[in-house]
Amino acid sequence: MEDLLLLPLSDYWWAYAGFITGLLLILAFDLGVFSKPGTLPTLRAAIIRSICFVLLALAFNYGLYQFLLYELPNRPDLVGLDHAQLARDTSLEFLAGYVVEYALAIDNVFVFVAVFSYFAVPPQYQQKVLFYGIMGAILFRALFISLGSILMQYEWVVAIFGIFLILTGLKILFLPEKPIDPSRNPVILGIKRIFPVTPAFHGDKFWVEIDGKTWVTPLFVALAFIEFSDIIFAIDSVPAIFALTNEPFIVFTSNIFAIIGLRSLFFVLQSMVKAFLFLKYGLGVILVFVGLKMVWLNQAFGGKFPISWSLLIIGSILAVSILVSIAWNRVRGPEDKDPT
């Protein structure tokens, strides 16, 4: 039963096409209406946009649930199964995946803050870098999910990814966090070997022509590092959500909904990087949990750990990590807020 797909690409290609079309319209609307070149959104506007993206994901999930209630009874391969339960479980899988990916996206935002600080990217240019960074993240996630949907059919691959997630979670929990050092990043070093880098920014341009020679700007180098970090995050996030569902459509849509709101979320959280000091530990516990699902819990529960339990556990871990962060900040005050 766990290998049965409710929304296979071969039969529901139009759902993927429709979702991608809607995604492009949303991105075009967000870029064209809400983003003016060289300007920064107000905190209020960023909060409203972030809330809108969350509500959009929830509305999509409700629409998916209603569609499955209508569609599944018409499937001859699902005769005799509880269609309502399948629809509920699938919508809960989307919600659980979205929560996990959104939490990981918050961690990604903290990386963006560090990158912009390291490269001293002027605030008025950050929206452009974020937009292209998110577009790259969408492409990388689509590629990783496509590969994952094939590889996850093999039990030994599932076990390897599960062990990887467990080790990643334990690393977050017990090893000190290393500061970001783009100067040692192989992608950045490779760019500097191929192209000369201008010492200063040239507006919001990624490259310029000087004396007939192409130079890249520090803005391009910052974008390259963000794209590289997106790949690293995808290595964690895609296996994590495959631990919650085997439906590629759910993996793809929940991933994308978590990503498209990153630009607005960045402007909400950039001034609150230290407000969620214990969130990374919560993410570490979550990664250990989903890794255990892949290597043990799913098999121990007859092929699939109950998704309602997964959602409850993940939500509780996030809630506790956020509440502990808030309590820590109040106890410690504005000074010396680093628990490490």
340 pLDDT tier (thresholds 50, 70, 90): low
The predicted-structure confidence for 96-107, as pLDDT tens digits, reads as follows: 999 998 888 877
What pLDDT shows up at residue 333? 63
| Strands annotated E in 49-94 | none
Asked if 106 and 269 touch (Cβ cutoff 8 Å), the reply is yes
Pairwise pLDDT comparison (134 vs 53), residue with the higher score? 53
- Helix pair angle (218-242, 186-194), 10° resolution: 150
- Nearest Cα to 239, choosing from 286, 201, 181, 182? 286
What pLDDT shows up at residue 192? 85
The predicted-structure confidence for 186-242, as pLDDT tens digits, reads as follows: 878 888 888 889 988 988 899 999 888 889 999 999 999 888 888 888 887 888 888
300 pLDDT tier (thresholds 50, 70, 90): confident
C-alpha 225/C-alpha 233 separation (Å) is 12
pLDDT higher than 50, residue 1: no
The predicted-structure confidence for 57-84, as pLDDT tens digits, reads as follows: 999 999 999 999 999 999 988 888 999 9
The predicted-structure confidence for 17-72, as pLDDT tens digits, reads as follows: 999 999 988 888 776 655 555 567 777 888 888 899 999 999 999 999 999 999 99
How far is C-alpha 315 from the chain's CA centre?
16
pLDDT above 90 covers a percentage of the chain that reads: 30
pTM attached to this predicted model: 0.85
What pLDDT shows up at residue 38? 58
Q: What is the mean pLDDT of residues 130-147?
A: 87
Write the CA distances from 43 to 48, 49, 268, 269, 311, integer angstroms: 9, 10, 6, 9, 30
Angle at 102 between CA 99 and CA 106, to 5 degrees: 135
Q: What's the chain's average pLDDT? A: 85
For residue 37, count CB atoms less than 10 angstroms from its CB and return exposed for 0-12, middle for 13-18, buried for 19 or more: exposed
Asked if 137 and 265 touch (Cβ cutoff 8 Å), the reply is no
Q: What are phi and psi of 208, to 5 degrees?
A: -140, 160
What pLDDT shows up at residue 257? 93
What pLDDT shows up at residue 120? 87
Residues comprising the chain, all counted: 340
